[in-house]
Amino acid sequence: MIRVRLDLAYDGTEFAGWARQRSGLRTVQQTLEEALTAILRLPEPAQLTVAGRTDAGVHAAGQVAHFDLPEGVWVAHQEKLLRRLAGKLPMDVRVYRAEPAPEGFDARFAATSRRYIYRVCDSKEGTLPTRRGFVLWHNRALDLDLLNEASRLVLGEHDFAAYCKKREGATTIRRLLDVHWERTRHDEVEATVEADAFCHSMVRALVAALLMAGDGRCAPEFPAEVLASKERHPTVNVLAPHGLTLEEVRYPSAEELAARVLETRQMRVLGC
């Protein structure tokens, strides 16, 4: 058997998220697994493991997944796999790299960080029609200095229960490595959010709190105060998914992959 790494991108608008669902809703995982199974003529359906399970409507420019298959099948199809996937897959998902993964690679557990971008338009005229599928319209002017001041106060390792939808048996402790804002167009700002991992709805809830500081409704300390409370705040909503894109997943060197997998699988507690 050989493990194959896939690098892919998708427009999440018409997908019910990454993960295959029993309800039969259209998902990225199901779409890609069915295409791989057909192209490679596998006797059993392909089984993908992904770096980050994006929610319904969230986009990806740098998603990573892996799957295992017999080495002979890979040798027979590797040269034409990307072209055949391009012909088989719908236009809203594309695989742009497929290659054997180094020993110990795991798309999910070997990742050291995931980097997202949330795009916001703060023009009083609203978002350009050509960008409305990827940019949230925020009907208030945003101050970059306030946004970045509030962002600095939430960096580091914390229990992000106040910004997450809790799951039974799962920790909400995460290490936030980078949060910063920049104005990329006269009418748009971008939040870059990078962490070792994210829990469900964390980026969209955190950015919502930061926007409240950035438009002057709350003090710059407000997002950090919510974080410290470890409780959902009634004024902090989860933002719409279409402004969010998974931009990059980072991995350690090949020599460090196995150690990273072991570290990630351990239940985390603050200070460890």
Please count the other Cβ atoms lying within 10 Å of the Cβ belonging to residue 142. Answer: 20
Angle (CA) 252-62-137 rounded to 5° is 130
Please give the positions annotated as active site: 55
Please count the other Cβ atoms lying within 10 Å of the Cβ belonging to residue 269. Answer: 9
Phi-psi group of 76: left, alpha or beta (phi > 0 → left; psi -120 to 50 → alpha; rest → beta)? alpha
